[in-house]
Amino acid sequence: MTGQQVGVVGLGQMGFGMAATLARAGFAVQGHDINPARKPSCDEAGIAFRHDLGAVLREAEVLVVSLPYARDVEAVVTAPGGLLERHDGRVVVIDTSTSDPTTSRRLAVLLAGAGHGLLDAPVSGGPSGAASGRLTVMAGGAAEDLERVRPVLEAMAARIVHVGPSGAGNIAKLVNNLLVAAHLITTGEAMRLSEAAGLSAAEAIEVVNAATGRSAVSEAMYPRWVLPGSFNSGFSAGLMRKDVRLATGLMSEVGLDLPLSRLVDQLWREAPLPDPEDFTRMADYRRDPQSRETE
């Protein structure tokens, strides 16, 4: 499978990391991004940067997409002269974006009509996981398409979970990110309570992580990005707001009223946290600045 033509559309922190990982694994990688300033980094990583999206869509045997919104993914899938007009072999699109399951299912049907496949395959692991090939992939779509592109996925990920048909991958990712969004709030508030009562956050988080209150937020995010004040996870508050909004939209779509989830959405929407800021600041923004200085 090395040498296989893989196109990567969207070369942000996640997309570039995945593209560079695939190039190191021996795939012939073509990359496209709306920002031409990505080209020098691509050149260094062995990625053939294409200014023309159409060239990538016409030549890729496997297409990896890493874009912010479902509308961006749809624009790539339906681009004139692109995938829907190709009949030279089955192309499988691996959509690693966090999107809504309804859009994924619709695009899967559209691509199937042209003889191609779609996996909604959002990832977990952040930019460091993308750069090291240690992501977790939660894939929805046909099992035969998953097997067809398994070598590509295995180069990018330490764990691949096929969770079901089209849309299932995005459902799993939205559920996961809704929990992360809630855990950032609850962990931040718990640490604020601890500090106000006289126990530092550093001491309290050590206890939580040895007890039943632990989560990925307390075990990884809080010690790595919140306590040191680095806030450089590589994932923005705006993107997390988008994911929470998609989760609550799905909740409404299936007719559920989940009050705590709605409150999480409200708190993220109303937080004085600009969209470009790192999302881990959500665990910190309401803490007492004086208590931070004493850590």
- The CATH code belonging to domain 171-293 is 1.10.1040.10
Phi, psi of 281 (to 5 degrees): -65, -15
Whole-number pLDDT of residue 293:
43
**Global pTM value:** 0.90
User: Do 5-165 and 171-293 agree at the fold level?
Assistant: no
Q: In a 3-state reduction of DSSP, which class is residue 287?
A: coil
Strand ranges (DSSP E) for 121-222?
A: 123-124, 135-140, 157-164
- Rounded to 5, what percent of the chain is helix, strand, coil? 55, 15, 30
Whole-number pLDDT of residue 291:
40
Whole-number pLDDT of residue 269:
95
Whole-number pLDDT of residue 1:
43
d(CA 101, CA 109): 12
User: How many Cβ atoms are within 10 Å of 206's Cβ, its own excluded?
Assistant: 13
- Tens of pLDDT along the chain (295 residues)? 455 899 999 999 999 999 999 999 999 999 999 999 999 999 999 999 999 999 999 999 999 999 999 999 999 999 999 999 999 999 999 999 999 999 999 999 999 999 999 999 999 999 999 999 999 999 999 999 999 999 999 999 999 999 999 999 999 999 999 999 999 999 999 999 999 999 999 999 999 999 999 999 999 999 999 999 999 999 999 999 999 999 999 999 999 999 999 999 999 999 999 999 999 999 986 554 444 444 4
Whole-number pLDDT of residue 3:
57
Catalytic residues: 173
Whole-number pLDDT of residue 284:
85
Assigned superfamily of 5-165: NAD(P)-binding Rossmann-like Domain (3.40.50.720)
Whole-number pLDDT of residue 285:
63
Spans of all domains in the chain = 5-165, 171-293
Phi, psi of 162 (to 5 degrees): -85, 105
